[in-house]
Structure 1
Amino acid sequence: MATRSLRGVHDVVAFIDSRTGIRGRAAIIWWLALGGLFLDAFSNSALSAGLGPMTRDMSLTAGQVALLTSMASWVALVFNPIGGWLADRFGRIPPLIAAKVLALAGALIAAFAPTFELVVAGRFFVGAAYGIDFAIAMALLAEFTPARFKSRLNTWQGIWYVAVSTNLLLAIGFYNMNVGDAIWRYAVGAAGVVALILLILQATLLVESPTWLARKERLEKAAESMTRIYKEQFVAAPESERVAVVNLANKGIRNVALIFRGTYLPRTILAATVQMGQSIQYFAVGWYLPIIALALFGEGDFVLATLGTLLFNVFGIIGGFLSPVIAGKLGLRRASAFGFGAVFVMLLILGFFFDSMPLWLAFIVPSLFILFHSSGPGANGKSLSTLSFRSELRAGANGIIGAIGSLGAALGLVVFPLLREQLGLGPTFLILSLVPLAAFIICSVIKWEPTRATVSPDEEVDAPQFASVTR
């Protein structure tokens, strides 16, 4: 069997890019990373379907609802960059495993919490897990994805809506078990079960990213990872044959400054805009769809409102899994711009006609909101930040831009219940429509498109071709 010699990160990237698909152990790692994102969505939406019953169960005020629902996002805002730094400093796998431990702890604390304060404490751990996991999982996905399949990173958005829809189905099941207003505890507990399963699988099957190892000039370890993943023999080239890493960013957390300078600055602005814009519009509207559905279809029918929300999220699944195709044809930036524009129109319709819409339109407009969101900016914020930076900057950049997204999520989660209580749903939608409008304008002005770039973020100079020798 031919033994492949690794002279540097260029050889690792060239081999991965030469693959005609994501198969074998690489596919297992790819889908397990997506499984972590499933858990993030599942944990984040665990309170959503049961928010009405929980509000009654714990006699929550609007301020307490805002604090509880936004807690995970506020915490993720801090832990996004921490997770990115950990991944760029110590590798992708250890922080991913730690995130599952935190998610499990958070689920158990919240599910069995006797007081509001302990539920908030549980959501703190969930937010820490979410913040750490998302920045790293997207970086890991990028480093196992051949260049021709870059747009497949958007698959995470479809996974997100599958998780949310699973929560809704479970909520209906728990409701039929006659658990009363404690239904939210069962939903949070189910997130703990998912966290435990993923903890076991990821600890057993994940392999460290060879691209990250090679960028850190740890070629012997990179060769070991490549051998385990691709079932071919890889070795590190002799020292005299190795190609040094160009512009290696090895200053730890100070690498963050690089994404705000020179070539990277417009990429950072674009990715941050899409990330924050989609976070605000989703967490101010999409996350609260069970509450919106109750207002649309009747406060007294939990099952009908939940089924309506489930229908809305089916459009999210469709849009999420279509987003790789759309991004492949239009590019991440243009797909985001079109999505923001369409979401702006949907929010205007909801704002002006919320109280007078016929039932069929009350189903169609929120469904289209979710479809346009998930097929465009909802998926693209994470993918833009992941594909715009080279390997040793990638997780850190994801952490910073993810923190900006978490800020948007927290603002959306806080603003919606407060505006709704003060102004009503119609004016709330009109105010929120300004967010996708502003994002549409910025996406139209900045022209960076990573899926059309001729140079990979891992390759700041022309790379030599992959070397293969027989030993």
Structure 2
Amino acid sequence: MAQRPSVKGVADVVGLIDGLGKITGRAQVIWFLVFGGLFLDAYSNAALSAGLGPMTSQMELTSTQVSVLTATAPALAILFNPIGGWLATRIGRVPPLLLAKAFAIAGALIAAFADDFGVVWVGRVLVGVAYGIDFAVAMALLAEYTPAKLGGRLNLWQAVWYVATTSNLALALLFFNLDVGADIWRWSVGSAAVVAVLLLVGQWTMLKESPTWLAGKGRLDEAVANLDAIYGIKAVAGRPDAATLASSAAPAIGFRHAGVLFKGDYLPRTILSSVISLGQSMQYFAVGWYLPLISLTIFGESFEKATIGSMVFNAFGIAGGLLSAYFGRRLGLRLSSAAGFAGVFVALLAMGLTFEKVPTAVAFLLPVLFILCHSTGPGANGKSIAALSYSSDVRALGTGVTGMVGSFGSVAGLYLFPQIKDSLGLADTFLVLSVVPLLGMITCLAIKWDPMKADRSPDEAAADALASTDAPGGLPDTAKTTTAR
């Protein structure tokens, strides 16, 4: 009988998971259940977008009220991305995910049954809280569930985003054909509660706490048990190594430790992931704001035709999201982001220079190019690169901070660029916006870090650094962590 491997700390857990060639069985179900939360986040955002027109008419909303409702969720995410990361660091990865589903259910139901703007806004506040917590924690947990060689799979969240958006648009089209009238937005928003309930039940039943997080807390017996429950890996808890003793004895990491993200080797990683996250969210939410207008121009001004047109655009986002996993694995997250930013830069320049000067077919192809390049490169990598760039003790905090920066970009895209459009016109707005992907591309080319090309995982490198310095406790010296090949 083969001797079972001994787990003495985080590095051992990471090594056992990284040794897997694929994710199968219960691990596969758990993996997609975590992804389901990201589906819900996108679905909830699309639910408001699909029904915003009928809601505006029924409630006689002003343009300011519409803007507030649209930007509430990303604005709340600015605060709750890091809060979600903090919770995941302190109490584990799974409890915040379940809490997020509860907020999502409440927010969707409150908005669906609202009779005035104020109540709808309260519902969107709760959805924003759920969105902020879930995204920060889910990406960190997915990174810890996934073998290093399969890290590119994290990019599939982008395809999931577009699938969720398309699903809600299709459902809105169904409600439209059922002739529910102006209440179509209530059905669209309320359906998000059904999705959230299903996910809450599934995650409550199936999810297991991250073995990596448990090992970092010195709870080796539980880590070993979860390795078996999730992957079928048979191991035994050994005597805690120096890194485990140090991390379990150190004070729990909180916001006051966020400075570690800006020291040593973590500094360029934080800059790179933050710039990608900021740039992709600004360009998506700014241009995404105008895609319905383009859809109306191309496919007609009826609700049905405009919805079908939006679904066509989203189909290219699904394709790009699926391709992102391939390009992330082959090129790395850094270079695939640079290439995506370059394509978006070209698309925006062309859109600005040729607006209302080219045939309809060309006007259609340019937004398609934008969506494909965005979703294949920085759109997907903005979340994935942060989740893969930090050791487990600061991973959730890192994804939370990066998500916060990205949410700033969302708010800027939703608020700043419509104002530029009013001042300069749509064509010049596209030209101004092209600066965003240009700066993103330059940053990706200047900073060489790429977690897909690293010799060792951040956890293994952090453990080696701690052991080599015989640190008595606290956070590892990130200046000695792994570098890119």
Per the normalisation by structure 1, the TM-score is: 0.94
1:268 is aligned to 2:294 = no
Deviation at 1:461, TM superposition (A): 5.3
Gapped regions of structure 1 (runs ≥ 5): 464-471
**What residue is the counterpart of 1:39 in the other structure?**
40
Query: Residues 34 and 288 from structure 1, CA distance in 2 versus in 1: closer, same or farther, beyond 3 angstroms?
Result: farther
**What residue is the counterpart of 1:412 in the other structure?**
413
Paired with 1:64 and 1:357, the residues of 2 have a C-alpha distance of 35
State percent identity of aligned pairs: 55
- Please give the residue correspondences for 1:102-181 in structure 2 after superposition, counting only pairs within 5 Å: 102-181=103-182
Kept in 2: contact 1:80–1:399 (CA 8 A): yes
Kept in 1: contact 2:243–2:463 (CA 8 A): no
Deviation at 1:293, TM superposition (A): 1.7
Deviation at 1:288, TM superposition (A): 4.7
User: What is the identity, as a one-letter code, of the residue corresponding to 2:269?
Assistant: R
Kept in 1: contact 2:79–2:132 (CA 8 A): yes
Deviation at 1:287, TM superposition (A): 5.1
User: What is the identity, as a one-letter code, of the residue corresponding to 2:264?
Assistant: G
Kept in 2: contact 1:67–1:414 (CA 8 A): no
SS in 2 for 1:252: coil
**What residue is the counterpart of 2:80 in the other structure?**
79
SS in 1 for 2:48: coil
1:204 is aligned to 2:205 = yes
Which moves more between the two structures, 324-333 or 346-355? 346-355
- Please give the residue correspondences for 1:54-73 in structure 2 after superposition, counting only pairs within 5 Å: 54-73=55-74
Query: Residues 357 and 308 from structure 1, CA distance in 2 versus in 1: closer, same or farther, beyond 3 angstroms?
Result: farther
Paired with 1:255 and 1:294, the residues of 2 have a C-alpha distance of 48
Paired with 2:115 and 2:353, the residues of 1 have a C-alpha distance of 42
Query: Residues 84 and 288 from structure 1, CA distance in 2 versus in 1: closer, same or farther, beyond 3 angstroms?
Result: farther
**What residue is the counterpart of 2:308 in the other structure?**
307
- Please give the residue correspondences for 1:173-192 in structure 2 after superposition, counting only pairs within 5 Å: 173-192=174-193
Kept in 2: contact 1:337–1:377 (CA 8 A): yes
**What residue is the counterpart of 1:343 in the other structure?**
344
Paired with 2:368 and 2:12, the residues of 1 have a C-alpha distance of 45
Query: Residues 325 and 55 from structure 1, CA distance in 2 versus in 1: closer, same or farther, beyond 3 angstroms?
Result: same
Structure scoring higher RCO (CA < 8 A, sep ≥ 6) equals 1
Deviation at 1:415, TM superposition (A): 2.7
Query: Residues 327 and 363 from structure 1, CA distance in 2 versus in 1: closer, same or farther, beyond 3 angstroms?
Result: same
Paired with 1:432 and 1:187, the residues of 2 have a C-alpha distance of 31
SS in 2 for 1:245: helix
SS in 2 for 1:458: helix
Paired with 2:53 and 2:353, the residues of 1 have a C-alpha distance of 25
Deviation at 1:251, TM superposition (A): 4.1
Kept in 1: contact 2:270–2:402 (CA 8 A): yes
Kept in 1: contact 2:8–2:244 (CA 8 A): no
**What residue is the counterpart of 1:459 in the other structure?**
460
Per the normalisation by structure 2, the TM-score is: 0.91
User: What is the identity, as a one-letter code, of the residue corresponding to 2:266?
Assistant: Y
SS in 2 for 1:48: helix
Deviation at 1:151, TM superposition (A): 1.1
Paired with 1:7 and 1:315, the residues of 2 have a C-alpha distance of 46
Query: Residues 224 and 368 from structure 1, CA distance in 2 versus in 1: closer, same or farther, beyond 3 angstroms?
Result: same
Deviation at 1:394, TM superposition (A): 0.4
**What residue is the counterpart of 1:469 in the other structure?**
none
User: What is the identity, as a one-letter code, of the residue corresponding to 1:116?
Assistant: F
Selected match of 1:279 from 274, 278, 281: 281
Query: Residues 173 and 331 from structure 1, CA distance in 2 versus in 1: closer, same or farther, beyond 3 angstroms?
Result: same
Count of aligned residue pairs for this structure pair: 461
**What residue is the counterpart of 2:243 in the other structure?**
244
Kept in 1: contact 2:218–2:245 (CA 8 A): no
Query: Residues 315 and 455 from structure 1, CA distance in 2 versus in 1: closer, same or farther, beyond 3 angstroms?
Result: same
User: What is the identity, as a one-letter code, of the residue corresponding to 2:275?
Assistant: T
Kept in 2: contact 1:7–1:236 (CA 8 A): yes
Kept in 1: contact 2:90–2:252 (CA 8 A): no
Query: Residues 55 and 421 from structure 1, CA distance in 2 versus in 1: closer, same or farther, beyond 3 angstroms?
Result: farther
Deviation at 1:8, TM superposition (A): 1.6
User: What is the identity, as a one-letter code, of the residue corresponding to 1:280?
Assistant: M
Paired with 2:455 and 2:146, the residues of 1 have a C-alpha distance of 16
Query: Residues 419 and 362 from structure 1, CA distance in 2 versus in 1: closer, same or farther, beyond 3 angstroms?
Result: same
User: What is the identity, as a one-letter code, of the residue corresponding to 2:54?
Assistant: P
Selected match of 1:290 from 264, 289, 292: 292
Deviation at 1:306, TM superposition (A): 1.5
Which moves more between the two structures, 311-320 or 436-445? 436-445
Deviation at 1:422, TM superposition (A): 4.5
CA RMSD between the two structures: 1.9
Paired with 1:378 and 1:246, the residues of 2 have a C-alpha distance of 39
Gapped regions of structure 2 (runs ≥ 5): 465-485
User: What is the identity, as a one-letter code, of the residue corresponding to 2:69?
Assistant: L
Kept in 1: contact 2:11–2:463 (CA 8 A): no
Query: Residues 108 and 416 from structure 1, CA distance in 2 versus in 1: closer, same or farther, beyond 3 angstroms?
Result: farther
Kept in 2: contact 1:37–1:159 (CA 8 A): yes
Superposed CA offset, 1:106-151 (max 9, x none): 1011111111111111110111001000111111111111111111
Which moves more between the two structures, 252-261 or 201-210? 252-261
Q: Runs of at least 4 residues of structure 1 off by over 6 A?
A: none
SS in 2 for 1:208: coil
Deviation at 1:50, TM superposition (A): 2.4
Paired with 1:48 and 1:30, the residues of 2 have a C-alpha distance of 28
Deviation at 1:230, TM superposition (A): 2.4
**What residue is the counterpart of 1:28 in the other structure?**
29
Query: Residues 127 and 288 from structure 1, CA distance in 2 versus in 1: closer, same or farther, beyond 3 angstroms?
Result: farther
Paired with 1:44 and 1:203, the residues of 2 have a C-alpha distance of 23
Query: Residues 124 and 368 from structure 1, CA distance in 2 versus in 1: closer, same or farther, beyond 3 angstroms?
Result: same
SS in 1 for 2:121: helix
**What residue is the counterpart of 2:8 in the other structure?**
7
Paired with 1:246 and 1:402, the residues of 2 have a C-alpha distance of 30
Query: Residues 140 and 333 from structure 1, CA distance in 2 versus in 1: closer, same or farther, beyond 3 angstroms?
Result: same
1:328 is aligned to 2:329 = yes
**What residue is the counterpart of 1:258 in the other structure?**
260
